[in-house]
Chain A
Amino acid sequence: MIVLEKRPQPSKAWSYATPLVAVLATMIFGGILFAILGKNPIQAIGTIFWEPLFGEFAFYYRPQLLVKGAPLVLIAIGLSLGFRAGIWNIGAEGQYIMGAIFGAGAGLAFYPLDAWYVFPIMVIAGAFGGWIWAMIPAFLKVRFGTNEILVSLMLVYVAEQFLASVSLGLLKNPEGHGFPGSRNLQSYESAHNAELIAGSGMHLGVVAAFVAVIFAYVLLNRHMLGFHIRLTGEAPRAAKFAGVNPARLILFCLGLAGALAGLAGMFEVSGPAGVVSIDFNVGYGFTAIIVAFLGRLHPLGILLAGGLMALTYIGGEIAQSQLGLPAAAIQVFQGMLLFFLLAFDLLTNYRIRAARSEVA
């Protein structure tokens, strides 16, 4: 009989090793899944993880890694702070959408004015859009004790409907011949979040993601507020005695997560996407949850996890076009990763022992 023995302290070694073990297990089981779908598993896994980095067209795919990774990292950093404190914002997708709508809306309001201040205003508007959307669950939780998980999630569906509404109405391109979707911000220079170095994939959103990583690292390790966040998550009672104000913490964590998700949406719509359209959002807000956990809620870990997840997106697209691997298979693959991660986390907190014969 095997029993679990709680470790007096979580194992440091396993806490670093579990993400790697989880990735490995996902590759194995993902390979089995691909084999069931009638694809060569080695080739499929190779295409996903190798092709974007070192394949023939890597010069094209490597910049894409930054483009896809940046929003994931930006959102996941915000989520991780809340997750650490036991504040579950799972509506980042909605905050991302609202950030994009507010950001693009601010930019389009100035069209066709050519001025330096258009883009900074869009950045502020984007962050505000995400922030205000996250403030709804935050305020309701602080004021009425409403469950933030359900409220933030419901607001994703509301945001999706709002997105449909504005791309068919308010923000619709007046010169778009009746097609849904806004003007293309890429062709409006003052509002365009262009690549800083052509062909590098490096746009301001990527810079923002790196800044967010550093900011979160400093906050968690060098600042009282970061200490309070960690304390609340690890020892809620101790946090109470230490005088941590839970309401302030909720407002801060949800607000910051919303603002970062809003920024991610704004940088996406003004750069790589260009257009506010009905299907603008592609689930970054949900994938970022996986990224946050895969990165062990640690800023540097999230940076690496964001890169890995971006790799599966890009590799998945390549596998889709080259091997005919269905898009949903990649989604399953990403979901599997979170599964294995949570499962192997057992080893961080518990020791597995063969039980001696005793009455339990």
Chain B
Amino acid sequence: MDLSAINPVLLVASLMVAATPLLLAAIGELVVEKAGVLNLGVEGMMIVGAISGFAISVETGSPWLGFIAAAIGGAVLSLLFVLLTQVALANQVASGLALTLFGLGFSALLGQSYVGIKPPSMGDIHIPLISDIPVIGPILFQHDPILYVGIALTAAVWATLKYTRVGLILRAVGENHDAAHALGYKVIKIRIMAILFGGACAGLGGAYISLIRVPQWTEGMTAGVGWIALALVVFASWKPWRALLGAYLFGGITVLQLNLQAAGVAIPVEYLAMSPYIITILVLVILSADKSSAPASLGRTFHASH
């Protein structure tokens, strides 16, 4: 065992990279849940985003176009969820599962000819001076642009929910859809927008895995990140900045266990690989005592007839 091989600066820097897909997906799902919708299809939307982003950036040579395609791909898949839950008024839990099962199959189908290819690289931002500051530079200022997009998105969602009229309406719909309807807000329309936003974010998160974090395409490569993102929303008590904190925590665990694997710690690889999932469960247990912050209409179907 050689723990000295673990470079703390690199560890923190790669922690941020590992956390970004989680953060993107969790922020999207947070908005969806704030609108009172529980979309369990995050894993499915992520994996579809991962392959559509990968395929488009390989075909066009542009990672940026890839990320745009990933957002569209995730949103298109979430449109199926919209049709099921908002139009056909189906059960949200079952529909979310359907989305994940379908997404996993669909992405595998799309990705057949992309196995073993290397995608074009996005390159890291390098700002003269501040990127060269020792320790802080490599940790904070030498990353790919999407990582900063994730942080900016967190800030934007936080500000929108807290300070704007749109945010207020969104929260009203999530807290009490009947009251919001009585006030004249279009509950279904607002929820549809939220679900599409969530789908686009999950798509971005998926593409971040296939284009930057790994970067290559393998079937089912999201490996439960979408589900951890769902847990993260609970962990964050539906608060954006806490989602960021949580994402870094989970990113840290993932990176640390990978580093420990590489350093040859006496714990078998499989047990280290289990750790993010087990810690997710532990965190859920610790936080499940407090349910007060969950949107009151979460997971309930809205139909204007009653």
Chain A complexes with chain B: yes
Please report A residues at the B interface, Cβ cutoff 8 Å: 4-6, 88, 90, 136, 140, 144-147, 149-151, 153-158, 161-162, 164-165, 168-169, 286, 289-290, 293, 326-336, 338-339, 342-346, 349-350, 360
Contact between chains at A158 and B278 (CB < 8 Å): yes
Residues of B within 8 A of A293 (CB): 94
Query: Which residue from B268, B284, B291 sits with its C-beta under 8 Å from A150?
Result: B284
Contact between chains at B93 and A338 (CB < 8 Å): no
Main secondary structure of the interface of A (DSSP, over half): helix
Residues of B within 8 A of A147 (CB): 231, 234, 284, 288
Distance from A90 Cβ to chain B, minimum over Cβ atoms (Å): 6
Complex Cα gap A344–B88 (Å):
8
State how many residues of chain B have any CB contact under 8 Å with chain A: 48
Complex Cα gap A343–B40 (Å):
17
16 chain-A/chain-B pairs, Cβ below 8 angstroms: A4-B305, A6-B306, A90-B97, A144-B285, A144-B289, A147-B284, A147-B288, A149-B40, A154-B231, A328-B112, A331-B104, A335-B98, A338-B94, A342-B90, A343-B84, A350-B303
Complex Cα gap A150–B268 (Å):
25
A158, A289, A290, A326: most-surrounded residue (chain B CB, <10 A)? A158
B241 within 8 A of A: no
Closest residue of chain A to B234 (Cβ to Cβ) is A147
B182 within 8 A of A: no
Distance from A158 Cβ to chain B, minimum over Cβ atoms (Å): 5
Distance from B137 Cβ to chain A, minimum over Cβ atoms (Å): 35
Contact between chains at A154 and B281 (CB < 8 Å): yes
Contact between chains at A151 and B284 (CB < 8 Å): yes
Query: Which residue from A5, A144, A339, A344 sits with its C-beta under 8 Å from B305?
Result: A5
Distance from B42 Cβ to chain A, minimum over Cβ atoms (Å): 11
Contact between chains at B90 and A335 (CB < 8 Å): no
With A165-B268, A329-B109 given, is the CB distance from A342 to B94 under 8 Å?
yes
B129 within 8 A of A: no
Distance from B234 Cβ to chain A, minimum over Cβ atoms (Å): 7
| Chain B 228-270: CB-based contact to A (< 8 A → 1; otherwise 0) | 1011001000000000000000000000000000000000101
Contact between chains at A338 and B281 (CB < 8 Å): no
Closest residue of chain B to A343 (Cβ to Cβ) is B88
Residues of A within 8 A of B106 (CB): 328, 332, 335
Contact between chains at A164 and B112 (CB < 8 Å): no
Residues of A within 8 A of B291 (CB): 145
Contact between chains at A339 and B98 (CB < 8 Å): yes
B83 within 8 A of A: yes
B183 within 8 A of A: no
Residues of A within 8 A of B185 (CB): none
Distance from A105 Cβ to chain B, minimum over Cβ atoms (Å): 16
B277 within 8 A of A: yes
Contact between chains at B89 and A350 (CB < 8 Å): yes
Query: Which residue from A153, A335, A345 sits with its C-beta under 8 Å from B224?
Result: A153
Closest residue of chain B to A290 (Cβ to Cβ) is B101
Complex Cα gap A147–B286 (Å):
12
Chain B positions 19-74 with a Cβ under 8 Å from a chain A Cβ? 40
With A335-B105, A342-B84 given, is the CB distance from A154 to B304 under 8 Å?
no
Residues of A within 8 A of B228 (CB): 154
Contact between chains at A155 and B277 (CB < 8 Å): yes
- Contacts beyond the supplied A145-B291, A157-B274: 16 A-B pairs with Cβ under 8 Å: A4-B305, A146-B281, A150-B230, A150-B234, A150-B284, A154-B231, A157-B277, A161-B273, A162-B270, A165-B271, A290-B101, A328-B105, A328-B219, A332-B105, A346-B89, A349-B89
